[in-house]
Amino acid sequence: MALSSVTIIGAGIGGLTAALSLQKKGIPVRIYEQASKIAEVGAGLHLSPNAIHIICELDLRPALEPYDFRPASLKTLHYKTGVPSFELPLDEKFEKEFGTPFIDIHRADLHAALSNAVLANDPPQKTTDLNC
């Protein structure tokens, strides 16, 4: 039995990612969002290679590349002394090992790319003429 459609509650990053993933499999989605307008919320996000692999599978990488930032490393510091306790270079060796870069991006840019892709994949709504 094939699914006729899937309903998703919430047009945040998770809901839109789920919607786009389903659309890529040919499953129609209906998304419901309580906000009357999707506005910029939050700030930057760190996207590890696992997230970037999904972004690539969803064909979003070209839409995000103009907005991403590639940090040189990840570093944690002791909260009192500021002494580094961990540092991971995010260089070519890192990208080769994991297959993608580690990037930082503004939440609004990711959300816009997802939203645009979902809307672009949305088939035109069929209307029924009740006067025939």
Q: Is 8 exposed, middle or buried (0-12, 13-18, 19+ CB in 10 A)?
A: buried
Domain residue limits at 61: 6-121
Q: In this structure, is residue 65 part of a structural domain?
A: yes
Residue 31's domain is classified under what CATH number?
Answer: 3.30.9.30
| C-beta atoms surrounding 36 within 10 Å | 6
User: Residue 130 domain-assigned?
Assistant: no
* pLDDT for the residue numbered 131: 43
Q: Is residue 127 part of a domain?
A: no
Determine the 3-state secondary structure of 15 from DSSP.
Answer: helix
Counting as low any pLDDT under 70, the low residues of the chain are 1-3, 39-41, 123-132
Q: What is the pTM of this model?
A: 0.82
Q: What is the DSSP letter of 65?
A: G
DSSP-based helix, strand, coil % in the chain, nearest 5: 40, 20, 40
Domain contains 131? no
Domain membership of residue 128 (yes or no) is no
Q: How many structural domains are present in the chain?
A: 1
